[in-house]
Chain A
Amino acid sequence: MSATSSGAAAGVVLGLVGVLLAQQFGYLDLTGLTSAVVDLAIGAVVVGIVGAVVGWALGKRYLARPPRDA
């Protein structure tokens, strides 16, 4: 699993968790199934993309580090 896909996976879960938490704290209404699915999908996709970008950037920085001396 690459850094990008790892970040995207974490971002998707974070998006779903964020939407559900927003409902739990009263910022979002998830009464209807259709609107709830739309909200969850939007959260998962948006935060998943952000997570992929973050994972890619972190992976690039990780590879650019100088190797440790033995």
Chain B
Amino acid sequence: MTLRDRGWRTLLAVATAALVLGVVFGPLASAAPAGSGLGVSTADAAVTVPTVTWNGVNISDYSTASSAVSVAFNQAINVRFAWDPADPAMQGVNDARLAMVYLGFALSTRDVSPTPGPGAPSSATMNWSVGAIQYLVEGVFGVTASLLANGSTVWSQSFYVRLVAPFSILAALPLILLVLGAYELYALARSGRHAVPAKPVVRTPPPEAGSATRSPPGAAGAPTEPPPADEPPPEAPGGAG
């Protein structure tokens, strides 16, 4: 196989791979905008999908954490759910829910029943407020808006809100975390005082000749020997001087 043949075969393989990828992922990529385009109502009622507005703005505008909608302290929010009653998937919708999620768990849940009126219900309005949670936490939180029919979710969409505490700090959790962080910084700065000096190596004298076993110091039954005298023996009286 020449180098030119190898190049053509490589090009053919790349083209085939691109074609396969395009066939497989092309429909998914083209379907994604249609599926994520919630709230975009067209003139054709058959393609109308549920819409949730947050103070008049579609929540699909807040679909990422960086584009989260800010919620000021004690701010009242008007949330409106709207859906096509002719949509077979929306039949029997009797509950609209807004759930704030933190660490995978629902921090706050609020439900509202559809607005009564002639025919099948097609909307629900909720005057939402953060409530007591605004005294506890702040920051970015995920919120899930969902429509339920007899307890089962028939549609849902997630978006993000940014709770703003007074002076950007006056909430319980960030204050507690700041105090705890300051204490741990102090503990880290003092951690050097827990240092333990290395134990000195104790050198045992070599066993004397003739002694087969060595008994540990202080063991029961061991003969107590006087410590070796470091001082020279006293001179005899009447010696020098």
Contacts and interface: CB of A to CB of B under 8 A. Distances in A.
Interface of A: 1-3, 5-7, 9-11, 13-14, 17-18, 20-21, 23-26, 28-34, 36, 51, 54-55, 57-63
Interface in B39-82: 65, 68
B103 A6 contact: no
Contacts of A5: 194
A2 B195 contact: yes
A28 B174 CA distance: 14
Given A26-B139, A29-B142, A36-B104, A55 B191 contact: yes
B141 interface: yes
Interface of B: 65, 68, 101-105, 137-142, 158, 160, 162, 171, 173-174, 177-178, 180-181, 184-185, 187-189, 191-197
Nearest to A50: B188
Grouping DSSP codes into helix (H, G, I), strand (E, B) and loop, the B interface class, with mixed when no group exceeds half, is mixed
13 contacts: A2-B195, A3-B195, A14-B181, A14-B188, A26-B140, A31-B103, A31-B141, A32-B104, A33-B105, A36-B104, A51-B191, A58-B189, A62-B193
A21 to B, nearest CB: 5
Q: For B103, B137, B191, B195, which residue has the most chain A Cβ atoms within 10 angstroms?
A: B191
